[in-house]
């Protein structure tokens, strides 16, 4: 592989789900020139609700990069209020998905622009411009690509399982669409990527839905440059959300080693947490063991820096 | 006509548009037992906006009857806030239709229930129950029945003309759908009506759209009991909105007499304001000249009382 890459000119693509992906994307955005950074975001969680098209992972990434995210919760807007959804509850409407007043503006504007005939890619570009976000944030697909969760005798839309049922029903199978196609923008960015970073997002319901979108997985497999994943498991636990619970239910070890094994040959490098030091090298997979927990903005930049340095080393 | 009617047993149906209709409906609701009162509301102003189904006249009537209306503006909710629509504007979305945070909850809940497959009649009943409204509030139709405004070289959706262009473009013609059908609930209530009151709403864009819905006009024409209209014109002016401007543009006198003439044979009685005293009786039309301006809640009850007494006299 060529080794003249440097951080100021290499094209970095980050595959991201929600909170963990948004944090690492934010760290990368503070280091990589915007024209060289693309965030490809899972849209398998998207759903129609109350008449609106809601894209939770796109929103989490945009709010983080736009510096308007609620840093306490990791999702939603800072300085949020809840007048509308409280009233929806009083009016006997569904209030299980917590839509803040500022957050609602994103969904209303998106729905309006989609109904005008714009693609989700174009709508996301519009929203990013208004959030003063410079790197490209791309939905993995412009088609609806719903992730479905099969649990005891039921197949649930993702948000029904994740939010309404608080990810408690055991996951027997994850159904991803068989006909999902990447946008031309996604394919073009992967084509010229010097580094692909798989963010510390849930491998099964955040990253797999992206890899499932044709031709993202084969493009990553063929990429001459490095594909590096950051483990979402720290100390045998998920930082947030159902990843650990899902691994148990699928009969996997809840460990970074299991995550690396799950991604398998797709990876050239794997970044895992210092709490899990001792993970054995698997084949010719390059390993980096650092502090991966991102509490603060500085943590995001430090991890992004570590990942970029590691990628430069192994490229 | 039988004359054993009394105020506690007669079935009253009020045809209402927005603000004026809502005020009179509220006055009637404080006098007529709820099981004997039905408000049939114009839905010609309804539109799809930002993904939502918005029914401005139904909302104005519900908010008035539910005692949650903004009495300053005559539309929208009391104690309203504007977080979401302000943010829609900042995100480059359309913010010309002023959607308050509480008001939005109505549209979100309505859109959700419609998308579940409920009729607008059922959805309105749901919302009324949650607003603690006892009389029946019925949309004139469960179908979309959009009123279109023909102005110089353009045919505009009603709300585009009314709100976005502030009803300034001259009205050359009003287009009402030719295939609008009343709901069974509307037909049943008209069938057993002892009195139909046409509220002081805009005759052209609030009341005509209701009369245009088959078979509402022929049912009123055949009704053995009284049909009484209240003039929306006071002292040669519209209390609110474009009625006077439209009358001028159509070459009509701007007067209560012209309103009575416009409704023509449909009416048995006509109520107009003391400021316009001297209006000549037209044929066998019974006339009542009283104070019709409704500033306060007491004004609403007084006018409703006057109209009911007048209807009893002429029945």
Q: Which residues contact B205 (CB under 8 A, 6 or more apart)?
A: B17, B42, B44, B45, B147, B149, B158, B162, B174, B242, B246
Give the phi and the psi of residue B13 in degrees, each rounded to 5: -120, 130
Residue B8: pLDDT over 80: no
Q: Do B108 and A53 touch (CB under 8 A)?
A: no
Per-residue pLDDT tens over the stretch A105-145 = 999 999 999 999 999 999 999 999 999 999 999 999 999 99
Who among A86, A112, A129 is closest to B51 (CB)?
Answer: A112
CA B79 to chain centre: 23
Whether ipTM exceeds 0.90: yes
Who among B91, B104, B113 is closest to A109 (CB)?
Answer: B91
Residue A119: Cβ within 10 Å count: 16
Taking the whole predicted model, whether its pTM rises above 0.90 is answered as: yes
What's the CA gap between B304 and B66, in Å, rounded?
A: 17
pLDDT (mean) for B74-101: 95
Per-residue pLDDT tens over the stretch B180-231 = 999 999 999 999 999 999 999 999 999 999 999 999 999 999 988 899 999 9
Q: Do B109 and A130 touch (CB under 8 A)?
A: no
In CATH, what number does B12-48+138-314 get?
3.40.50.10680
Q: Which residues of B touch A131 (CB under 8 A)?
A: 91
How high is the pLDDT of residue A283? 72
Who among A49, A87, A112 is closest to B102 (CB)?
Answer: A87
Residue B21, helix vs strand vs coil = helix
Residue A282's pLDDT band (cuts 50, 70, 90) = low
Which residue do the tokens 């849930």 mark? A202
Q: Element (H or E) spanning B303, and its range? A: helix B297-314
Residue A259: pLDDT over 70: yes
The nearest CA of chain B is from the CA of A103 a distance in Å of 8
B83 interfacial to chain A (CB closer than 8 Å): yes
Which residue from A270, A53, A253, A260 is spatially nearest to A144, judged by alpha carbons? A53
Q: Which residues of A touch B105 (CB under 8 A)?
A: 83-88, 90-91, 93
Distances (CA, A) of B54 to A91, B103, B111, B144, B187: 15, 10, 8, 11, 24
Which residue do the tokens 């209709």 mark? B21
What's the CA gap between A36 and A285, in Å, rounded?
A: 25
For A101, the closest chain B residue by CA position comes to B84
Round the average pLDDT of chain B to a whole number and report it.
Answer: 94
Cis peptide before B215 (omega within 30 of 0): yes
Task: List the single best residue of A84, A98, A133 to mutate versus B (max B Cβ within 10 A).
Answer: A84
Task: List the single best residue of B66, B84, B96 to mutate versus A (max A Cβ within 10 A).
Answer: B84
Candidate CATH numbers 3.40.50.10680, 3.40.50.10490, 3.30.460.90, 3.90.1150.10; the one for domain A12-46+136-314: 3.40.50.10680
What percent of chain B is modeled with pLDDT above 90?
A: 89
For A104, the closest chain B residue by CA position comes to B84
Give the phi and the psi of residue B154 in degrees, each rounded to 5: -135, 150
What the block records as the tokens of A96 is: 């299980």
Residue A286: pLDDT over 60: yes
Angle (CA) B154-B159-B160 rounded to 5° is 40
Who among B88, B92, B130 is closest to A91 (CB)?
Answer: B130
Which residue from A111, A23, A7 is spatially nearest to B104, judged by alpha carbons? A111
What's the CA gap between A116 and A310, in Å, rounded?
A: 44
What's the CA gap between A131 and A62, in Å, rounded?
A: 7
Contacts 24+ apart (CB under 8 A), A66-71: A66/A128, A66/A131, A66/A132, A66/A133, A68/A102, A68/A131, A69/A22
For B85, the closest chain A residue by CA position comes to A105
A278 interfacial to chain B (CB closer than 8 Å): no
Who among A85, A112, A127 is closest to B50 (CB)?
Answer: A112
End-to-end CA gap in chain B: 6
Per-residue pLDDT tens over the stretch A48-69 = 999 999 999 999 999 999 999 9
Q: Tell which wins on pLDDT, B175 or B283.
A: B175
Round the average pLDDT of chain A to a whole number and report it.
Answer: 94
The nearest CA of chain A is from the CA of B103 a distance in Å of 8
Q: Element (H or E) spanning B175, and its range? A: strand B173-175
Domains of chain A, by residue range, sit at 12-46+136-314
How high is the pLDDT of residue B2? 43
Per the CB < 8 A criterion, the answer to whether B220 and B188 are in contact is: no
């Amino acid at each position: 592989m060529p080794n003249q890459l440097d951080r100021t000119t290499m094209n970095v693509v980050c595959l991201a789900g929600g909170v963990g992906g948004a944090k690492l994307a934010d760290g990368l955005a503070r280091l990589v020139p915007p024209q060289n950074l693309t965030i490809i975001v899972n849209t398998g969680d998207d759903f129609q609700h109350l008449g609106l098209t809601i894209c939770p992972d796109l929103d989490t990434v945009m709010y983080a990069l736009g510096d308007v995210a609620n840093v306490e919760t990791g999702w939603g807007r800072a300085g949020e209020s809840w007048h509308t959804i409280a009233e929806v509850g009083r009016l006997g409407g569904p209030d299980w998905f917590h839509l803040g007043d500022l957050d609602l503006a994103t969904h209303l504007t998106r729905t309006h622009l989609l109904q005008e005939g714009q693609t989700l890619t174009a709508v996301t570009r519009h929203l990013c411009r208004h959030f003063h976000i410079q790197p490209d944030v791309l939905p993995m697909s412009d088609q609806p690509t719903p992730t479905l969760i099969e649990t005891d005798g039921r197949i649930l839309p993702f948000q029904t399982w994740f939010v309404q049922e608080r990810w408690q029903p055991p996951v027997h199978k994850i159904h991803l669409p068989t006909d999902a196609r990447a946008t031309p923008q996604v394919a073009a960015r992967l084509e010229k990527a010097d580094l692909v970073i798989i963010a510390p997002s849930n491998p099964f319901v955040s990253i797999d839905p992206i890899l499932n979108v044709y031709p993202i997985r084969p493009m990553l497999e063929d990429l001459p440059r490095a594909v590096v994943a950051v483990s979402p498991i720290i100390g045998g636990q998920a930082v947030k959300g159902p990843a650990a619970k899902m691994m148990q239910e699928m009969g996997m070890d809840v460990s970074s080693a299991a995550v690396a094994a799950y991604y398998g040959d797709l990876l050239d490098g794997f970044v895992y947490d210092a709490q899990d030091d001792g993970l054995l090298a698997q084949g010719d997979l390059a390993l980096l063991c650092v502090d991966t927990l991102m509490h603060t903005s500085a943590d995001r930049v430090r991890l992004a820096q570590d990942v970029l340095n590691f990628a430069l080393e192994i490229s």
